[in-house]
Structure 1
Amino acid sequence: MSSSTVGFWGPSTSTVDWCETNYQHLFHVSELFNTASSLVLVVVGLIGFVLHRHVLERRFLLAFALLSVVGVGSTAFHATLQREHQMLDELPMLYLAIVIVYILLEDRPQRRFGNWLPVLLFGHAVLVTYLTAFTRGNAQFFLFQVSFASLEFYALGRTYFLQRRSPDARVKRLFRLGIAAYALAIVLWLSDIQFCPTLNETLPAHGLPNPQLHAWWHVLVSCGFYALLLVIAHHRLETLGRKPRLTSTAGGLPRVEAAPPVKETHTASLY
């Protein structure tokens, strides 16, 4: 954990304090690098929404929008290390994971599970919201991580099988890039927790700075999520018969394009 230096926002009230030294650079920002890197989540979500607002269903646009909401909450959390702002970071992460699970389960042109699936997922969202918001200390951190990780790893595994069935080499390449970024992000996240004394004490003692691994987690997980969501979207558009193709913007950013929705499936696939 980082130092207990107190700045503008007072003592930390969050259940976790990351390895970046608090208030080392600015009196008004507790963790400068973690705060600044959180804005990447906001930007990537907005880019995904804008590029695909006329191509993808609302479920995908909701996922991109929630990614930006996560970024806003993460920015507030790392800037203040206050518990209420921690909830603005963690709860949208859970909701985003639930939306992705819905997308992956409800993957046919017509709805497979009726109303009970969204009701079940909504109930799960209420439960994890309660557990995350009304537990304290290590128990809160553990419950959040278990709740989020279980949804996350199901989604990653399901996406792996989707890309295996795709004959498009570009989809497979995008998946490899996305999963590599995501896996490296997880390694850095764990390393930031496990090796904090080394990062904050041993390295500076030898003239080396803390590499701010949690900040790199924000950047890499943003890129990985964007790539993997496009893999899922490509499969969804194929299922709807819309002949998707992976292209790129002038800046090289990948995007999915597709033919307009056919009339008979348009209503069924709005969400």
Structure 2
Amino acid sequence: MADGISSFWGPVTSTIECCEKNYAYSLYIAEFYNTISNIFTILLAFIGLVNAARQRFEKRFTVLHVSNMILAIGSMLYHATLQRVQQQGDETPMVWEMLLYMYILYSPDWHYHSTMPTFLFLYGAVFAVVHSVLRFGIGFKVHYIILCLLCIPRMYKYYIHTHDASAKRLANLYAATLSLGSLCWFFDRVFCKQISSWPINPQGHALWHLLMGLNCYFANTFLMFCRARQRGWAPKVVYRMKILPYVKIEKPKTQ
């Protein structure tokens, strides 16, 4: 099973494999660590979802946390099966999620309120159809990186206009987890041959999942703080059990 000769899902049909031995622990899970590492992201997204719903944040943040959960579930299915269909189920939500981040970041200053969500929705739908037919390889990665880069200037603008030290710490943690996670992904992809000869595989891609789960949580919490400040909800960053930060707001009685 470790060589993928016999498995529940059949031969590998995905175009990307990570530096983890296939079916080393289970007949039903192709990449064990890369699969279970997504559970952490689902848990953090669920915590963020509960906080957003309990304090009645705008629906965009409910959708954002649910999007994080869907992406993690899609990633689990992909790494568990290494099938081409499930690969698209992982990659397409990645693009959808970035489009959602773009909406949350840019919509407050967008004067034509209906045009942005309409355009982003149509863009995401067209991409899903085209991606299912053409199955982009390197083109998908370039496209995804461009979407990420488009979000950075706006995130930086929010950062420099935020004077709350706790909120700035969230942004710093967002940048740190993104940088460290990207390094884990890079070394897992580029130096797989060398890593495979080590006595213990550090599971760089699984670490990428864990760090990106934290990254999304910190980004979402920071954006919730910024949006609450825009709405005049007196946001402040507090900590659950002195470990996990979240945003606490006080809406005016008129709202």
Relative distance call for 1:16 and 1:261 in structure 2 (3 A) is farther
Structure 2: how far apart are the matches of 1:54 and 1:112?
A: 29
> Which of 189, 193, 202 in structure 1 is aligned with 2:189?
193
Structure 2: how far apart are the matches of 1:3 and 1:181?
A: 33
User: Paired residue for 1:163?
Assistant: 159
For the 8 Å contact 1:66–1:92, the answer to whether it is kept is yes
Relative distance call for 1:145 and 1:54 in structure 2 (3 A) is same
User: Paired residue for 1:209?
Assistant: 200
Structure 2: how far apart are the matches of 1:261 and 1:107?
A: 20
Post-superposition shift, 1:43? 1.2
Structure-to-structure mapping, 1:114-193, within 5 angstroms? 114-136=113-135, 140-193=136-189
Taking structure 2 as the reference length, what is the TM-score of the superposition? 0.93
Taking structure 1 as the reference length, what is the TM-score of the superposition? 0.88
SS at match of 2:246: strand
Give the gaps of 5 or more residues in structure 2: none
User: Paired residue for 2:25?
Assistant: 25
For the 8 Å contact 2:234–2:251, the answer to whether it is kept is no
User: Paired residue for 2:9?
Assistant: 9
Does residue 86 of structure 2 align to residue 85 of structure 1?
A: yes
For the 8 Å contact 1:34–1:78, the answer to whether it is kept is yes
Structure 1: how far apart are the matches of 2:126 and 2:140?
A: 11
Structure 2: how far apart are the matches of 1:70 and 1:227?
A: 16
Structure 2: how far apart are the matches of 1:98 and 1:172?
A: 24
User: Paired residue for 2:106?
Assistant: 105
Post-superposition shift, 1:174? 1.4
Post-superposition shift, 1:5? 4.2
For the 8 Å contact 2:22–2:30, the answer to whether it is kept is yes
- The one-letter code matched in structure 2 to 1:122 is F
RMSD: 1.8
Q: How many residues align?
A: 253
Post-superposition shift, 1:89? 1.3
Instruction: Name which of structure 1's ranges 54-63 and 156-165 shifts more when overlaid on structure 2.
Output: 156-165
Sequence identity percentage: 29
